[in-house]
Amino acid sequence: MAKTLFALSCLRNEDWGRLSLRPHYPSMPRYPKGVSPEGTSVEGSEAKALFSVIGMTCSACAGSVEKAIKRLPGIREAAVDVLNNRAQVFFYPSFVNEETIRQAIEEDAGFEATLLTDETNERSVQVCRIRIKGMTCTSCSSTVESALQAIQGVIKAQVALATEEAEVHYRPNIINYNQILEAVEDTGFEATLISSGEDVSKIDLKVDGVRTDRSMRLIESSLQALPGIQSMQVYPEFNKISLSYKPEVTGPRNFINVIEETGSRRFKANIFPEEGRRDPHRREEIKQYYKSFLWSLVFTIPVFLTSMVLMYIPGTKHGLDTKVVNMLTVGEILRWVLATPVQFIIGRRFYSGSYKALRHGSANMDVLIALGTNAAYFYSVYSVLRAATSPDFKGTDFFETSAMLISFILLGKYLEVLAKGKTSNAIAKLMNLAPETAILLTLDSEGNIVGEQEIDSRLIQKNDVIKVIPGAKVASDGFVIWGQSHVNESMITGEARPVAKRKGDTVIGGTVNQNGVLHVKATRVGSESALSQIVRLVESAQMAKAPVQKFADRISKYFVPLVIFISVSTWFSWFLAGRFHSYPKSWIPSSMDSFELALQFGISVMVIACPCALGLATPTAVMVGTGVGASQGVLIKGGQALENAHKVDCIVFDKTGTLTIGKPVVVSTKLLTNMVLRDFYELIAAAEVNSEHPLAKAIVEYAKKFREDEENPLWPEARDFVSITGHGVKATVRNKEIIVGNKSLLSEHNVAIPADAEDILAEAEGLAQTGILVSINGEVTGILAISDPLKPGAQEVISILKSMNIRSIMVTGDNWGTANSMAREVGIETVIAESKPEQKAEQVKDLQGSGHTVAMVGDGINDSPALVAADVGMAIGAGTDIAIEAADIVLMKSNLEDVITAIDLSRKTFSRIRLNYFWALGYNLLGIPIAAGALFPSTGFRLPPWIAGAAMAASSVSVVCCSLLLKYYRRPKKLDNLEIRGIRIE
């Protein structure tokens, strides 16, 4: 009771329902300490954040939240809405960020707070992609990722070791991409911008004939005058101009024309020659490692020969053992001279990598290599110098250890980048689908062809008309304005059967025209095209980390320090054992003493441990898996989706458009009153024409049959139109109240359903047809029966899923009778009918609550909440853009059988990831003890450091090659059997 009274007293005289920007605490500073109100730089960088605050009960609570926020420096204003549990904060990002504000609400005020992102915030977020050179293991990628996420204005940063790229989501009003590049370079790695912002339309032009700066300025000013130019960058040293533009206003041909018409036509412009975005970088890296490896061989082979081979040939042994000064021999001097360039010139990359890592408080593979090779090299230098100054010291040098170690590691890195390059072949193949040239048609005002010319396909602009001859690739997305043919779309959708195209049909850039000539009007060009969007989706998927990657990231933090500790402990243990004669002298090889034996064990431990293999285990498999999926028409949006899909044990199918073909047709009409059928359909078509639902479209299409004289009939005006999702529509047409929908909709509007109408509905539902009731002025006037046949193969797909121990459930907004009949036909036991979109999502959550990993397969806007709620959302490719955006996996072919392909591919990918981890961890768990001399006492087997280095290099290569085997993935044979029986899904 006391609590209630307190709450009421809090509410008294408070305008708590209004979100006011009036400060409640005027004593709180508006500006951070030391910043004057005149500081324009602070005012200009103001940001806004919206938080959900859970637990507030009254305005006193809101006051405590507001007070906690305003205590922070850099807060301009804070307003708390207790009714909607929200807090809106205006702040200066230079002094405070969203996370600090959120923590203040939780820690100082004691309420749970979550940052909300509204649409305006989303629109103000840009994405840039950065290439990062020099990363060797997960320790490197984690360091860069942490540095990026610590930057003010960066919302999310993902760094992929396998692709050596970063994707950064940032607020351009707080930070720009140049500052992001600087942050990466501050961590010690080389950063290059791949793309900034959305890069919707950007092109690079090469201008020939420019001899002076004045000429380039003249061209620049001519281009600036063009409408639609957004930004321009000039690179005089390359005669290159980069342009960002609005494709609906202008295009690359306009730029070339303007350049060539400037300056008495002495300039010549064309598209800047460029290779694939990934290939030049990858080829350069391969070339560098290959060159370094060859140079290391030039010096290492003589070192190896003088220490391992020539010492056993009597003539050359005498020459190499010839003493120069005291005990210093010719062989030692030769090995020193040859090993030094390998250590410090060819191996300098390991020094720089170690320095950069240690400078930022982390340790990577370079640190292990540098420590191991330096220990061998500098002990050898000590041995040589002591031999030169002592008349009786006979030491052993390990110059061959350091030289051979670096050579083998360089060979391993060369093979690794060679293999890693092949993991992104799927993207390279997708990018190569676009044709190099296109035939541009020139039309007169009446649409007649007056000319045609062959142009570079990158010069195509919106609304151009392109001629596509048989056997040629379609140059851009668009629609057919003349001609008919069949187009092979398998390279984009994975659908093997050619698709018929005629006037009005859409075509996709990169697909192959087969047997007729088509004239295509370009609608989406450049980076707007479906092909470019698929490439971007696959690129983003390959960037996104799978949750299982966190395992490797956690290990990598402690891996190198632990290896260094084990290595030093190994050396110290063997050194002490030798000093106190804990093992027989016969164990020590004749060419060394106990200290040198201990040193070799320590170096072997240091170089055999490989953090690279662990770091590459997940990303390389995810890269290959998503690439293979794309080639099969299954677009998987990243590692999270791939990981969740392999755990799926329950699939919820939408009915219309997913289990069924999605093109319902009216099969029968029963009128309960004396009315002309044409007039009846006139009224209901007028109401349904405003709805996007497939059943509504079926009714309108059927109604057109009564107006055959008109191609696009005009229906009577519908006033007060209301669409009740999952139930039907209501409108006023010709002063009559029309309700078209299911029984529950009519019941809500107090419309009595006669017994004969119930019988007709039951009969339709028994035939797996959807019964639609039509009410005019509160009286049931007619019943429509609509049939949407099952997709061919649906029954077999459900049967295969059952054999994979995956439970299938059907959820639909349709009535129970139709839903049950359809479920029986397809073989699904559990049915949920008459569900609204939010109820579909609730059903998914209920299944998750009972311990299931749930996949949702749908195609419509009404499926979007459930697609988001599911562990894995699968959108049918022919569905709506909203459903595809909400889904984790897009089935491009709209085939149900691809649900099985997606799950099977994810299972195969994750079995490969497990195998990679098993190998990487097993290799280290076995290799480190062997290198430490675990087998030496019993078998006399000792692993020399250079062999340990070769084994370390081989482990990374083997993990990448193991992932590459996924390229040979074939979908389950059961699905091939479906095709043998002639079942094809259109």
User: Quick one: which of 657, 652, 728 has its CA closest to 690?
Assistant: 728
Beta bridge partners of 126: 170
CA distance 648 to 906: 10
Beta carbons of 88 and 45 less than 8 angstroms apart: no
* Strand pairing report for 465-468 and 437-443: antiparallel
CA distance 825 to 720: 39
Token pair of 370 as six digits: 């540098």
* Strand pairing report for 499-501 and 518-524: unpaired
Beta carbons of 204 and 191 less than 8 angstroms apart: no
CA distance 586 to 278: 56
Token pair of 605 as six digits: 């431990």
Q: Which residues contact 712 (CB under 8 A, 6 or more apart)?
A: none
C-beta contacts of 220-229 below 8 A and 24+ residues apart: 222/258, 222/259, 222/262, 223/255, 223/258, 223/259, 226/250, 226/254, 226/255, 226/258
What is the residue whose two structure tokens read 């990657």? 549
Q: Which are the catalytic amino acids?
A: 654
Sheet holding 779-787, edge to edge: 665-671, 779-787, 770-776, 736-741, 728-733, 718-724
Q: What is the largest CA-CA distance in the chain?
A: 126
What is the Cβ-side half-sphere exposure of residue 807, based on CA atoms within 13 angstroms?
A: 12
User: Quick one: which of 159, 881, 200, 901 has its CA closest to 542?
Assistant: 159
User: Quick one: which of 381, 490, 379 has its CA closest to 429?
Assistant: 490
Beta carbons of 692 and 722 less than 8 angstroms apart: no
Token pair of 678 as six digits: 């044409």
Give me the phi and psi of 733, to 5 degrees please.
Answer: -125, 125
DSSP 124: T
Beta carbons of 798 and 767 less than 8 angstroms apart: no
DSSP 843-857: HHHHHHHTT--EEEE
What is the residue whose two structure tokens read 């005012």? 43
Q: Which residues contact 216 (CB under 8 A, 6 or more apart)?
A: 207, 210, 234, 236, 239
